[in-house]
Amino acid sequence: MIKTKFLPIQLLLIFFIFSSPALAATPWNLEADRILSRDEENIVEAFGNIHLSRLENLLQADYAKLHTDTNQLYLKGNISAYWDGDFLEGEEAELDLDNNVGWIKNGQIFMAEEHIYFTGEHLEKTGENTYNFFQGTVTSCDDEVPPWSIKSSRGEITLDGYATLWHPRFRVKDRSVLYSPYMIVPVKTERQSGFLFPDLGHGSQHGTNINLPYYHVIDDQRDATFYTNYYSKRGVMPGLEYRHTPGLLSKGLWRADWMSDKERHDSLENEPSRFSNDGLFRPNRNRYWLRGKFDGNYPVTGWSYKVDLDYVSDQNYLREFKAGQSGFDHSRNQFLDNFGRDIQNHDRLIRTNILSAARNWSSLGLDARVVYSDNLRYKNDNLPSGQNPTIQRLPEVNLNLFRTRIGASPFELQASNQAVYFWRESGTRATRIDLHPRISTPLRNVFGTLTPTAGWRQTSYIVDNFENDPAVRDTENSFQSKGIFDLNINAHTSLFRIFELSPVPDLNRENAGQGSWTRIRHSIRPEIDYDFIPEVDQDKYPRFDSIDRINPRDEITYSISNTFTRRKDAVAQGTGGTEPSLRTSYLEFFRLKFEQSYDFREARRREQSDVYSRRPFSDLLIETHINPGRFVSFRNKTWYSFYENLITEHEHRLTLTWPGKMSTWFTLDFLEEIDDFRHRRRVDDFRQRINEKISLVEVGTRLDFIKNWQFTFIYRSDLESRRDLERSLGIIYRHQCYSVEFNLTETDYDHKYEIRINLLNLGSFGG
């Protein structure tokens, strides 16, 4: 017998799927204009305004037929669904409610997490995370006519994986512009192997550049990227990037690039003009750069390990290949982002490689390391390798005693101790043991803090080879030792006063949103620091670094810092009927510091006093920081000489910001040409010679006035030589699902342009 039920609009029918015991406890809720139940055929039909829901899943349609024995649901007309986190629309569909699979005709699937639309004549959900589609379109754009899309005759989709497309056509609006017989599109939040979008570029030095990366997942802790980097004027540069995380607190990043360069500069005459000032040439064609960093932290043992690798074939490699995914700038940013440690600048001719192991206890710290310095001057037949005096620290052990109170006494003890073996191809080799204990006693009272510190540095040498060192080569004593006393006295205090500006606003609804500066705190910190190191003749000892020549000091440095901090009180509107609340914020909006030193040794100097007058006062350092709010920021350091009656150095940076609209910055670095034998330019200098006047300026602006558009302009110039160092223009257009970026950069030796297109969820291409 057929039993028919006609139900009024919005009547709720709750039924259970008894064929699936695991799901029997969770009912399906059905709402419709009319419901027809055929008990003998195990069919329930619904007509008009159908809403079928269970937990978070929701289905809507004009018509539905459910086979209660198989849980097969057929839908037709204006179908829309929220199904396992995805949104589905279509004209006709059939779903298996037990297995969460089915098909939909003339429909669309929107994967919310990946923000990708798949539209097709026939879409199938074949598994928990897999879909198939025919005559479909893929896009990340919300527009009715998407700015870009990929139309394909057939495709397979795996969530947290890839969409595999056959005969895809890349479309701009409704026009096909590119075709490929096969394509893989990432629709994932987890890692997956595959080709990445290439870098494309052109420059006057290297010609056209194409870099095609392939990303390979090894396992959960390891992956690698293979690069094929082509330069039309230089050749092919293959590369490898390897990443691994062997532990929760451990990680490593290693990179290597190699090329057989079409160009070689086998004489100084053939050297490019921008490199000619170093007096070196590059005859080699085989060029490479190995770099990497590793951090290993093992809390169970307490040990931590670090590796810094930076080994390059020649002195010009890093200066020539700075841009792109395989260039110096990209690697430097990777290391800073992942490890917080920098690598030496691209123009440094000595590259440092370090392997270290460290462990800390409550009052002791141990750091053992091997340091290898690669001197590029002695590579490629520039200078004879057998005469290389570059010092290697093989090994170095540092044992430091942290500041620790001595029993119940008022004294505190700290020490820095080092043992290192200095090896080099040419020159004296020796083991050096340096012990530097220091004892201090902070004296505190209401007027401030006075901390005297006395130390003794005992340095001993065990020399196993005397070579090319006139001061020590004739000695027969392989063991040498010296001791030097040092003293430091630091005194500082802090004074402050609070100025009342306006009363705190009353807490009432009329004052909601109102706020003002209510107080300003002015803090003054005067500080005096005195250093004394006696003069000790050290010429007979080997010299490896600054510890071997401790310069005498008899100097006092005095400074005064002024800090202004405002307090702002504002009445915040209560939510949900609650009463208004008071919100207080603080901002250090102005800081002014003066600092100068007086050198007692210079005041007593007799050497060449008839040629160079005594000038014991250093330049006066004036440091200013102004930050009143979001709109203006000004930082300044200025050194002024009372002897020369002029400013010897400037460091300025002014930033003007209109939030969301514009940002402009101006920097000026200025250095006067001064013979420092008769003029102490700044507090921490010691007898330097400034041979040229330097004046560098940078002006930049970023404009965001036009919606979706950003314009950036940067100009850098050397005012002394009247030479433009860099001019760059950047334009970015951002849409909801893509962005287009154009950059033009001109320097005195290269002209480059870059066009990059970024597609939401698909990556970027260009260069």
- What residue ranges do the domains of the chain occupy? 11-194, 195-390, 706-767
Distance of CA 581 to the CA centre of its chain: 38
C-alpha distances (whole Å) from 203 to each of 86, 454, 488, 727 are: 45, 59, 56, 15
Band the pLDDT of 197: cuts 50, 70, 90: low
- Is residue 235 scored above 80 in pLDDT? yes
CB atoms within 10 A of CB 289: 24
Q: What is the mean predicted confidence (pLDDT) over 337-341? A: 92
Q: Which residues 6+ apart lie within 8 Å of 122 measured at CB? A: 103, 104, 105, 133, 134, 135
Q: Which residues 6+ apart lie within 8 Å of 610 measured at CB? A: none
* 727-741 pLDDT per residue, tens: 999 999 988 888 888
Position 514 scores a pLDDT of 80
With b meaning 16 or more CB within 10 Å and e meaning fewer, what string describes 691-716?
Answer: eeeeeebbebebbbeeeeebebebeb
C-alpha–C-alpha distance, residues 510 and 527, integer Å: 48
Position 344 scores a pLDDT of 92
Rounded to the nearest 5°, which phi and psi values hold at 532? -135, 125
Q: Whose structure tokens read 């995370």? A: 129
- Is residue 718 scored above 70 in pLDDT? yes
C-alpha–C-alpha distance, residues 385 and 629, integer Å: 57
Q: Which residues 6+ apart lie within 8 Å of 579 measured at CB? A: 507
C-alpha–C-alpha distance, residues 638 and 368, integer Å: 40
C-alpha–C-alpha distance, residues 631 and 500, integer Å: 25
Q: Which residues 6+ apart lie within 8 Å of 300 measured at CB? A: none
Which run of H or E residues covers position 584?
strand 581-599
- Lowest mean pLDDT of 457-471, 539-553, 654-668, 691-705, name the range: 457-471
Q: Rg for the chain (alpha carbons), in Å?
A: 36
Structural tokens at position 25: 């406890």
- Is residue 691 scored above 60 in pLDDT? no
Asked whether the beta carbons of 103 and 93 are under 8 A apart, the reply is yes
* 34-74 pLDDT per residue, tens: 888 888 888 888 899 888 888 888 889 999 888 888 888 89
Asked whether the beta carbons of 57 and 23 are under 8 A apart, the reply is no
Q: Whose structure tokens read 């007096």? A: 279
Structural tokens at position 565: 């901090």
C-alpha–C-alpha distance, residues 230 and 237, integer Å: 6
Q: Whose structure tokens read 């027809």? A: 36
Band the pLDDT of 1: cuts 50, 70, 90: very low
Position 688 scores a pLDDT of 42
Share in percent of the chain as helix, strand, coil (round to 5): 5, 60, 35
| Amino acid (one-letter) located at 527 | E
Three-state secondary structure readout of 718-736? ECCCCEEEEEEEEEEEECC
The two counts, helices (H) then strands (E), for the chain are 3, 45
Position 188 scores a pLDDT of 57
C-alpha distances (whole Å) from 206 to each of 322, 531, 671 are: 12, 54, 35
- Lowest mean pLDDT of 7-11, 370-374, 466-470, 695-699, name the range: 7-11
Rounded to the nearest 5°, which phi and psi values hold at 337? -70, -40
The closest of 602, 626, 746, 583 to 677, measured between CA atoms, is: 602
Structural tokens at position 635: 């930082």
Band the pLDDT of 634: cuts 50, 70, 90: very high
C-alpha–C-alpha distance, residues 34 and 8, integer Å: 6
Q: Which CATH class is domain 11-194?
A: mainly beta
Distance of CA 692 to the CA centre of its chain: 34
Which run of H or E residues covers position 757?
strand 751-759
Q: Among positive and negative, which fits the CA dihedral 20, 26, 32, 38? A: positive
Position 138 scores a pLDDT of 84
199-203 and 751-759 strand pairing:
antiparallel
C-alpha–C-alpha distance, residues 358 and 510, integer Å: 61
Position 270 scores a pLDDT of 81
* 89-143 pLDDT per residue, tens: 999 988 887 787 888 899 888 878 778 888 888 888 888 778 888 888 888 898 8
> Which DSSP symbol is given to 617?
B
| Amino acid (one-letter) located at 222 | R
Q: Whose structure tokens read 């500080």? A: 527
Q: Which residues 6+ apart lie within 8 Å of 625 measured at CB? A: 590, 591, 634, 635, 636
* 535-578 pLDDT per residue, tens: 999 988 999 999 999 999 999 999 999 999 999 988 887 766 67
Average pLDDT over the chain reads 85
C-alpha–C-alpha distance, residues 139 and 142, integer Å: 8
| Amino acid (one-letter) located at 279 | G
Q: What is the mean predicted confidence (pLDDT) over 146-158? A: 86
Q: What is the mean predicted confidence (pLDDT) over 11-33? A: 51
Q: Is 263 in a helix, a strand, or coil?
A: coil
C-alpha distances (whole Å) from 297 to each of 32, 222, 395, 673 are: 62, 17, 21, 48
Q: What is the mean predicted confidence (pLDDT) over 403-414? A: 93
**DSSP string for 36-63:** EEETTTTEEEEEEEEEEEETTEEEEEEE
Which run of H or E residues covers position 600?
helix 600-604
Q: Whose structure tokens read 């290693």? A: 254
Residue positions counted in the chain: 767
Q: If 0-12 CB within 10 Å is exposed, 13-18 middle and 19+ buried, where does residue 631 land?
A: exposed
Which run of H or E residues covers position 328?
helix 328-339
Rounded to the nearest 5°, which phi and psi values hold at 389? -95, 10
Q: Which residues 6+ apart lie within 8 Å of 709 measured at CB? A: 731, 732, 733, 734
Band the pLDDT of 766: cuts 50, 70, 90: very low
Structural tokens at position 99: 């297995």
- Above pLDDT 70, what percent of the chain? 89
* 344-400 pLDDT per residue, tens: 999 899 999 999 999 999 999 999 999 999 999 999 888 887 889 999 999 999 999
Band the pLDDT of 437: cuts 50, 70, 90: very high
